[in-house]
Structure 1
C-alpha cells in the first residue's frame, strides 16, 4: 500500500485540532503572495517526492487546468492556502458509522476542492484504482474490469436480468458485426428483423450527434447498408462501439442513426415510439461520455499521473494504532460522468434510465451502472452511497421499468404515500420531469418524443390517459408546475409543441412543489390531447384541451417580485386581501400588467405546511370562462 506522507502532512493528519490547518498559524494568510508561492512550491516538491496527500492536491488542480502558483499570483496579497479537515464530533480521522464521513478541504484563496476520506482495509488498494501504466480507457485491464462487472451482473443480479423478457421481440433493425468467434470485422451489415422468430442479445449506443453529421441510414441507401458497411468508413465512436460489442461476445449492435431511416418521418415516428423496448431489451448500453460528437470515440488516453485514489495510513496519538484511508475526490462521478456532455442530452436521459446496464466511457475511467450497483475503475466494487451528493442519490438508477414494478424508483416518492401507488408514481414522475426539463435537445419538437419511452412505462403502471406530459388521474397535481428558468431564457417554441398547460410547452426548466393535492378546489370536466402521429399516444401532439370547473379570482394585479417571479394581489368575495406568488411561463408583455389577470385555485396540498396551489390565467384566443 502506498502510504508515503511528507512530514507536514503526517503531523497535520495526526493532530487533534478540530478543523486544523496545514502547518502553523502563519500559513493561514500570508504577508504577500511570495510567501504563498513558497509554500505551494514546497507542496509541489513533496508531491514529486511521493507524498500521497500533496500529490492528490497537485494532480487535482492540474486536472482542472489550474496551476497552483498561477492561482496564488492572481490573488496577490490576499492569497491563502488551506488544507483543512472538517468532520463531525471527532477530530483525528475517527468517526462513527452513522454520521457523515470527514473530508479534506483544500483551498487556494477562492478556488477550492474537497476529498472524502474513506476508511479501508490494508489490502484494499490492490483491488482499486488505475495502474500508472494503464494509459487508455480501452486498455486490456479496463475491458477485463468491465467484463467482470457484466459477468457478475448477469449471473448474480436477479433484478437486472430481464433480457428475453420481451419474448421474441427484437428492434426492427440491428447491425450484425458477426459471430464472436470471428476476427474483428472489416464489414458489418444492417439486418431487418421482421422475420426473426427469436430474441437476440444486442448492445445499444448512447452518443452525442453534435455539430458533425453522423453516418446515417437514409431511404436512398437502405439497400446499400444491408449489403454491407465498411467499418473504416464509420466515425470513430461507431468503430469503438463495434470493438466493445465484439469484446463482450455480442453479435448485434443498435445505433439510432444507422437503425432508423433518418429522412423518413413515418419510420422515425414508428421507431421512436419503441424506445422503451429497444433500450430495456439490450444487454448493455455503451455510453460515449467523453465525446461531444461521433468522431470522439469511446476510448480515451489518460496520463500516467491520472488522479485515481490515493491511500494513506495514519498512526493515532498516543495509542499508536494505525488506520488506512482512501482519499476520494467526490467530484469524480459528477464531473466525469453525471455531468458529461452526453448526459446533458434529453434523449440520453431515457436511454440511460431504460437500459438495464450502462457502461460509461468517460475521459479518465470507466463507469458502470446497473439496477443493483454503481461502480467505476476507482471503486470497482461499488460506490458507497454516502459518497454521493443527495441529488445523485435521489436520481433513479438505470432499469426504471423494474423499479416501477416494485414502486421503489426514487427517494422523492414521499413515505407518507407509501401505500398509495398512484400518488407515489406521480411524485416520481414529477421528479423525472424536473430533471428532464433541464436537458438539452437539438430539435424543439423532440420534447415529448424524447421522454415517450419512460411515459409508456408509467402508463402501464398508472393505467390512465397520458396528456402531453401529464396524467388524467393525477391532473390537478400535474398542473402545478412552474417555470424555473434560473439563468436560462424563458420562452415558448416558435412552432406549436404542446398546450400551454403542459410543462412541455416551455423552453426552460420547470419545478414541481414537493407535495400532493389533498383538498381539490376544481373539478375536471374534460381533458384530452390529440396525438400528432397516428398510434403514437406518447409522442408529439397536435392539440390539447382541458375544461375545469372552479372559482376564478378576478382582477388580479401583478407586480415584479424577485427574479422571474411576480406578486399577485386581489380582494376576496368578502373583501379580504388575497396574495400569491407566480412565475409566468413566458415573458410578460406590458399589457399583461393590467388587471385582466385571473387566478384559479386548484387546491390545497400537503407539504411542510398546508398551502394553496393554483394556476394564473391570462385571456387568450383559446381560453374562455363563464361565471355561475
Structure 2
C-alpha cells in the first residue's frame, strides 16, 4: 500500500532532521526528542486516509485496538485538530544517537501512541548503519547473549556505582559463594548439573529471580529426601523451563555457578530455610548478574518467551529525494510485555528485595530484554533502559516507608513470610545505619513509625496467618500499607521504654484521649480539623470517620486498619506524635471570683487501641503494678483544646 501525501512528506524529511545532521546535544537521554512533524490537518480524517496509506493504517490499527470504539466514537475521539508525529532518539552513545521511536499524537487525546523504528535485518546500507536502532532480537538467540555480555562487560568496566553495596561496602568481583550453588560444569556433561556445598569458596555466580506460581504445582525442589541425589547430579531435562533457560544464559556468559532458591535451599528443613533466608539478600547483592524471568507467571513458562505479534509497516528511506533503502515502523508492545514494573514478577513480594539489592539485572520479557543496573541515572549508561528500582543514597526511614508501601502491594503465597521476604534487605540496611530492626520497623524511628495507614489497593484485613505478629506492626495486616505523611511535627508525644522481645510487647507511656465515632458527622468541615490532615490528600487511603467529643463537637478523624463498619462507638487514642503547638483558647468570661482556665489547642497523631485480656502475661504481677494492655486497630488525628490538667500520661503495653 502506498503512502498518503502527508506521510510521504514526513518520510522524505526524516534524514533532514537538524539534530541528526548537526549532532547537537546527542548523548543526552533527558533530551531525546529529535523533531516534531505536522501530520494530518484534521486528525478525524485518519480513518479515511488509512484506507489508502500504509502508515496511517498502522496508526489506525492502534487507535482501534486501544479504544475499541465505534467508527463514530473514533472520529469524535480523534477530534478536528491536527495530528502530530514526534521522533525520539535512543541507544545513547557519546558520539551518536539512533532513531528509536515514533510518537503519534492527536488532540484532545492525551495518550501518546508509541511505535518503534528499526532497520531491516537484511539491509546493509551505509545510510542505515549508524542511524537506526537494530531490530528487536529474540531472547535466547545468539545475538541476545552477545547483547547481555556487552552490557555486563560495560558495567563491570565503567560503573563504580555497581561495585558498592547499599551498606557502602565494596562488593567483591569474586564473592563468597552461597552455602549451596548449582555447578554447571561437571564431568557428566552439559545435560547434567550438580548441587554443591561451597564451603567458603569464592567465585562469580548468577542468581535467578522468578515467580514460583501456584503452590499446587510442585516444581522440582531440593528436600531432605533428594538432597543426596541432587548433590550427585541432576538431569537438566527434569527441571522446569525457567531453570533451564537460566542455566543456558549463565553458561553463555561463561559463569560456572548459579543460585536458584528452590534447588539450593532445603525446602522442608525449617532450620536450613531460616538460616538461608537471613542470607538471601546477600546472595542477590553479591551475584554477578541477576537473571529475572519477569514475564513468566511460573517456572514452566521460561525466560525465553514467545513474543506477541505486533503490527508493522516497511517504509522507504529517502536521501536527496531518492529512495535508497527501507526501515520498519512497528507498534510498541503493551507495557506488561516490555516494562518490568508491569510484569508478573513485579507482583511477587519476594522480588522487592531481589530487585533493590541486585547490582545488575537482566529482565526477560515477552517483548524482549531490559537491562538495569545501579548506575542508571548516575553515570553514562548506553545500554540501561530501566532503573533498578533503588538508589544507593538512601534517606533511611523515609525510603523504608516507600519500600514497605511498594512491598505490601505485592502478593505472597504464604502470608507467614511477610517479614521473611524483606529480611535480606533489612539486614543490608542495618549495616548502613546500625539500627535495631524490630518486626518490620526501626527502633530509632519509633514511636513515629507506629503511625502507618492502610490503603485501598487491596482489601485490608487481619487474618489468622498473621496473628503471629503484634498489632503495632504493619506486618499484622493483609493488604497495602502506606506511610502517614505528617507536617509540622514538633516532637514525639509518647515515650517508648522498651520492646519485650519474648512477648513482642511494646512498653510505652502516652497521653490518652477518647472520642466517639459519629457517622452523621461525616461531612464535618468546621474550623477544627479537615479529614485531609489524616489522608494528606492521598486518594489511596480508606475514607476516614469523624470523631466527636461528648458534646458532639468535631475533634478529629479516624482511619481503621480493616475495611469494616465499626458503627458508632467510643474510641481510645494513644497520642504518639504532636504537631506544632496550636493557638490558646479561652473560655467565656468567668463568674465573679472564678479563675479562667486557659485551654490550648493541641494536635496529636494517635493510635486507636482497644483493651485486651493479658492475664496470662501478667498473672504474677501485683495489682498495684499491673499495666493495662492494648491492641491497635486504627489511627486518628485529634485536634482539641485541653487544660493543663486534662492530659495525663500513663504507662501501657501494646501487643
When residues 231 and 93 of structure 1 are mapped into structure 2, their CA distance, relative to the original with a 3 A threshold, is closer
Give the counterpart of 1:206 among 209, 212, 217: 209
CA contact 1:173–1:193 (8 Å) conserved in 2: yes
Kindly indicate whether residue 634 of structure 2 is the aligned counterpart of residue 617 of structure 1.
Answer: no
Rounded Cα–Cα distance in structure 1 between residues aligned with 2:543 and 2:315? 47
When residues 483 and 605 of structure 1 are mapped into structure 2, their CA distance, relative to the original with a 3 A threshold, is farther
Q: Which residue of 1 aligns with 2:515?
A: 555
Give the counterpart of 1:227 among 220, 228, 232: 232
Q: Which residue of 2 aligns with 1:350?
A: 353
Q: Which residue of 1 aligns with 2:295?
A: 290
Q: Secondary structure at the match of 1:550?
A: strand
CA contact 1:524–1:546 (8 Å) conserved in 2: no
The 5 A counterparts of 1:400-479 are: 403=392, 408-409=393-394, 424-479=395-450
Q: Which residue of 2 aligns with 1:151?
A: 153
Give the counterpart of 2:307 among 302, 316, 322: 302
Q: Secondary structure at the match of 2:448?
A: helix
Shift of residue 107 of structure 1? 6.7
Give the counterpart of 1:546 among 488, 506, 513: 506
Aligned length: 523
Q: Normalised by the size of structure 2, how large is the TM-score?
A: 0.68
Q: Deviations over 1:433-480 (max 9, x none)?
A: 111111111111111000111111121122222121111111133122
Rounded Cα–Cα distance in structure 1 between residues aligned with 2:319 and 2:447? 57
Q: Deviations over 1:296-341 (max 9, x none)?
A: 11112336857799999999xxxxxxxx9x9996975885321100
Q: Structure 1: give runs of 5+ residues left out of the alignment.
A: 29-34, 95-101, 316-323, 410-423, 531-541
CA contact 1:202–1:252 (8 Å) conserved in 2: yes
Q: Secondary structure at the match of 2:113?
A: strand
Rounded Cα–Cα distance in structure 1 between residues aligned with 2:41 and 2:303? 47
CA contact 2:548–2:556 (8 Å) conserved in 1: no
Rounded Cα–Cα distance in structure 2 between residues aligned with 1:270 and 1:433? 23
Rounded Cα–Cα distance in structure 1 between residues aligned with 2:277 and 2:490? 39
Q: Secondary structure at the match of 1:555?
A: strand
Q: Which residue of 2 aligns with 1:565?
A: 543
Q: Secondary structure at the match of 1:216?
A: coil
Q: Structure 2: give runs of 5+ residues left out of the alignment.
A: 14-35, 89-100, 118-125, 165-169, 321-326, 524-530, 532-540, 582-601, 615-627, 631-647, 651-655
When residues 448 and 558 of structure 1 are mapped into structure 2, their CA distance, relative to the original with a 3 A threshold, is farther
Q: Secondary structure at the match of 1:569?
A: strand
Kindly indicate whether residue 223 of structure 2 is the aligned counterpart of residue 218 of structure 1.
Answer: yes
Q: Which residue of 1 aligns with 2:339?
A: 336
The 5 A counterparts of 1:70-81 are: 71-73=68-70, 80-81=77-78
The 5 A counterparts of 1:313-328 are: none
Q: Normalised by the size of structure 1, how large is the TM-score?
A: 0.71
CA contact 1:476–1:517 (8 Å) conserved in 2: no
Kindly indicate whether residue 177 of structure 2 is the aligned counterpart of residue 170 of structure 1.
Answer: yes
Shift of residue 554 of structure 1? 1.4
Rounded Cα–Cα distance in structure 2 between residues aligned with 1:364 and 1:117? 12
CA contact 2:308–2:366 (8 Å) conserved in 1: no
Which structure shows the higher strand fraction?
2
Shift of residue 46 of structure 1? 2.6
Q: Which residue of 1 aligns with 2:579?
A: 604
Q: Which residue of 1 aligns with 2:135?
A: 131
CA contact 1:499–1:543 (8 Å) conserved in 2: no
Q: Secondary structure at the match of 1:554?
A: strand
Give the counterpart of 1:7 among 5, 9, 22: 5
Higher mean alpha-carbon deviation, 348-357 vs 597-606, is at 597-606
Shift of residue 227 of structure 1? 0.8
The 5 A counterparts of 1:17-416 are: 23-25=40-42, 28=44, 38-39=48-49, 41-42=50-51, 46-47=53-54, 51=55, 55=58, 57=59, 67=65, 71-73=68-70, 80-81=77-78, 104=103, 106=105, 112-115=111-114, 126=130, 129-131=133-135, 134=137, 136-161=138-163, 165=172, 169-178=176-185, 185-194=190-199, 196=200, 198-211=201-214, 212-302=217-307, 332=335, 336-373=339-376, 381-383=383-385, 396-397=389-390, 403=392, 408-409=393-394
Shift of residue 24 of structure 1? 4.1
Rounded Cα–Cα distance in structure 1 between residues aligned with 2:333 and 2:434? 41
CA contact 1:175–1:191 (8 Å) conserved in 2: yes
Structure showing greater radius of gyration is 2
Q: Deviations over 1:75-128 (max 9, x none)?
A: 6697543697899xxx9989xxxxxxx99455799895534999xxx9897476
Q: Which residue of 2 aligns with 1:320?
A: none
CA contact 1:60–1:307 (8 Å) conserved in 2: no
Shift of residue 500 of structure 1? 1.2
CA contact 1:602–1:614 (8 Å) conserved in 2: yes
Q: Which residue of 1 aligns with 2:98?
A: none
Give the counterpart of 2:495 among 515, 524, 529: 524
Rounded Cα–Cα distance in structure 1 between residues aligned with 2:314 and 2:368? 12
Q: Deviations over 1:220-274 (max 9, x none)?
A: 0000001110011111111111110000000000001000111111111111111
Rounded Cα–Cα distance in structure 1 between residues aligned with 2:331 and 2:318? 14
CA contact 2:496–2:507 (8 Å) conserved in 1: yes
Shift of residue 526 of structure 1? 2.7
CA RMSD of aligned residues (A): 4.5
